[in-house]
Amino acid sequence: MFDAPIDTWYLWLGVATASALAFGVAVALPTTVPPDAQRAAATVDAVATSPHNATGEHSVDATAVELGSRRIALRNDGGTAHAAFAYGPVTPVRNGTDLAAVLRGHAPAAVFPNATAFRAAAAEARNRTRAWRETDGRLVARRVTWEGVDVTLVGA
């Protein structure tokens, strides 16, 4: 009828090319979805807008995080996702700093000599250049008010 003969060379070449293209597309697709930065930002916003001192924790499906005073970015094998904080600025905290001890639950008075030093450390952290850092899969936010200093600390 209207079928091409099975021994036609260009038919076999077309089938091989289409198969190679389909395989290439399948291999290039990511195996996981990008992390949900919007939900992480919503957790931070909920803590930041709390009328009292509060702490919140959010599990993130990310291998790296980039925290800024106005936004968050999460990255994994599926891609990168960004979200802005509705309430800000927040104070991004790096591990190993005095602010990290406050983020993990220590009282500011136990870590800083006075409120002025606490305010200065928070201001310095907000003005630091953003950088990608590895994460253990959790994001912690803590709102702290101490002697007139009101900050929302965020770390991963």
What would the pLDDT profile of 47-96 be if each residue is shown by its tens digit? 999 888 889 999 988 999 999 999 999 999 888 999 999 987 899 999 88
In a domain, 20, yes or no: no
pTM score > 0.85 for this model? no
What would the pLDDT profile of 41-55 be if each residue is shown by its tens digit? 999 999 999 888 889
Name which of 149, 65, 153, 90 is nearest 114 in CA terms.
Answer: 149
What is the pLDDT at residue 6?
Answer: 63
Nearest-angstrom CA–CA distance, 46 and 39: 10
Domain count, the chain: 1
In a domain, 6, yes or no: no
Distance of CA 95 to the CA centre of its chain: 15
- 83 is in which domain, residue-wise? 37-155
Grouping H, G, I as helix, E, B as strand and the rest as coil, residue 133 is strand
Give the torsion sign (CA, 43, 61, 135, 133).
Answer: negative
In a domain, 32, yes or no: no
In a domain, 2, yes or no: no
For 1-24, give one letter per residue: b (16+ CB within 10 A) or e: eeeeeeeeeeeeeeeeeeeeeeee
In a domain, 123, yes or no: yes
Q: What are phi and psi of 44, to 5 degrees?
A: -65, -45
